[in-house]
Amino acid sequence: MNASPSQPHPADWQETQGLLPAVEWDLPAGRHQFHKEHLMARIHHDLDNSASSPAPTRTAKPRNRFLRRGIVLPVAACALAGAVATGVLLSGSSGGGATLAAGPALTTRIGTADAHGVTQLLDQISLAAQEAPVPQPSAGQFIYIEAKTANTYVRTDGGKSSVVSAPLHTRQMWQSLDGHKGWLIDPGNIDGTSLDSKVEPYLNAPSYNYLATLPTDPDTLLKKIYTETKGHGPGPDAEAFTTIGDLLIQSYPPGNLSAALYKAAAKIPGVVKVDDAVDAVGRHGVAVALLNETSGQRTEWIFDNKSFTFLGERTVQVQGASGEHGLIKPGTVVSTEAVTQRAIVSAMKQTPSHTT
């Protein structure tokens, strides 16, 4: 994977001219449950650590989507169960940050999907990942990931609901190699939010050191993914695909692991090739995708047409309608995220341009 992909201006979205006045966000569909699961996992973890007896064995752990789609749960809310009972309202004004403005919903051309050729495409992508140079971090260093992201949601204002999109914005994340130290800077938290955690890394909340322990045989790796995500998501295949996508976009996998992840993805039923997709910063590419038959939304991993470098991921409504009152129609970009920089740095909050 390239450490610093280019960042052209989004050319294929409807321009967000005449943005509406700054408003508070309604949580996108499914995020209330995410915050509830995240909070309960933290509560259970704290209770387990405070007990004198060993922590109970769990067959599966909840997905840690703490970083996905630019949704930030303030750390203070983790201590307040009442915040979940009433729903966490994201106003984008935590930590001295400015409130995010909402604009017209992002839309796109729906690319043509074809099951033929997807295995060959993933083989090419896997080979490119295997050959791409990936820096080896040293003890005390941090993984740095920078991305451009935006999401679409149903906003209700004065009793009237409409589909709007948050503006494209930059998110910066740092994580120690063991996963116990981290920092996130995102709109609404411009001073940053601590991602420090005592929880040992696992498949849905990995660290670099954890990734280094994963098997690189595609069959063994996929079996592990299916086993550890059993019972989560809309179904085992969709959850396996989502898990691999999370690892690709929210971590810095070694080249051999990235290659194995792509080969594993080729074995997931329903995975298709999409002829054209556009990432969050307007880069066109070919995509590997999976349709959620229930929601009608298709998640697409986007790759450069020539180098097969991973560019980002987006979810597009391609069938039917979703969201409150079925307001999210085909062609709507539900969420989009482009990886613009991925690097090894020597300190928390240090960016590659300031690395000495």
Condensed to tens digits (0 to 9), the pLDDT of residues 32-87 reads 333 333 334 333 433 344 343 343 333 333 344 444 433 333 332 332 222 222 22
Task: Indicate the average pLDDT of the chain.
Answer: 77
Range of the domain at 179: 31-354
Say if 21 falls within a structural domain.
no
Residue 307 lies in a domain: yes
Work out how many domains the chain is built from and give that number: 1
Residue 19 within any structural domain of the chain: no
User: Is residue 13 in some structural domain?
Assistant: no
50 domain-assigned: yes
Residue 89 domain-assigned?
yes
Q: Tell me if 78 is assigned to some domain.
A: yes
Q: Is residue 9, in this structure, part of any structural domain at all? A: no
Is-contact 165 105, C-beta < 8 A?
Answer: yes
What CA–CA distance (Å, rounded) separates 138 from 145?
A: 17
What does the alpha-carbon distance between residue 221 and residue 227 come to, in Å, rounded to a whole number? 10
Question: Does residue 356 register a pLDDT over 50?
Answer: no
Provide the whole-model pTM: 0.75
Q: CB 115: neighbour CB atoms within 10 A? A: 11
CB atoms within 10 A of CB 177: 20
Q: State pLDDT tens for residues 150-197.
A: 999 999 988 899 999 998 999 999 999 999 999 999 876 667 899 999
